[in-house]
Structure 1
Amino acid sequence: MIDLSDPAAPRQVGVYRTPRSRQFPPRDLGVYSAHRAVAGEGLAYVAWNSDGLRVLDLTGNVPREVGFFVPPDHPDPAGALPAKAYVVGVARAAGYVVITDINSGLYVLDAPGGARAPRRRR
């Protein structure tokens, strides 16, 4: 997290890493890094490649995970990537979070109450 209250002197005030992103190289063939994020109302929704969607509370100095959703591993239809989750896109609107996974497609998730763990819509 970067404090931009003084644009001439930005400063780092917090860091968040998933447990798997703390280890390099990873134990498996997954990619464990943030890709895209959207934020609002004190929460960040982060597409975190093989660690799926991470929901972070940004109201303190240190981001805190308050929810997540990892799609099941799925083979790459083109055969180029390992059979892992690869969440690369995220958007939110009207109480839903939408994520895209390179291998398995589009997921529409419910996030009732804002900060609770997202649930896959059936």
Structure 2
Amino acid sequence: MNDLPRSLFELVPSGSDQQIVEETARQLIKDFAEFSFEINFTGTKGTPYQELFEQVLPVIELMLKNNMEMFHAMMYRIDVNEKQIREAMQRSSSQTFPEIVTDLILRREMMKVLTKRYFSGK
């Protein structure tokens, strides 16, 4: 998961890349809605990665501060495990814990979309 290029998120996507970004945003919106958090994606605010990161980060910070049980449940639902978080923490000295988790969430959501597309033949 860590080798997944962020190019689809960091660049302004077009064509099938745009579809992947939109599907990733829908997956993220769906997963966060399960915990009563609203994420919106317009595709017009900076890069898709920035737009989603800026919305997910405060939610992660809030959960870490106020509801660790919900945080763990969300990580389980999204499929980000402790080992991935630990490894990401070791690789990064400049990001905070919530920033690392937010990045892992965005990468995992995109990986879900890519995996679904691969196995559905899209």
Provide TM-score, normalisation by structure 1.
0.25
Name the one with the larger strand percent. 1
Name the one with the larger helix percent. 2
Bigger Rg over Cα: 1
Bigger RCO of structures 1 and 2 (CA < 8 A, at least 6 apart) = 2
Provide TM-score, normalisation by structure 2.
0.25
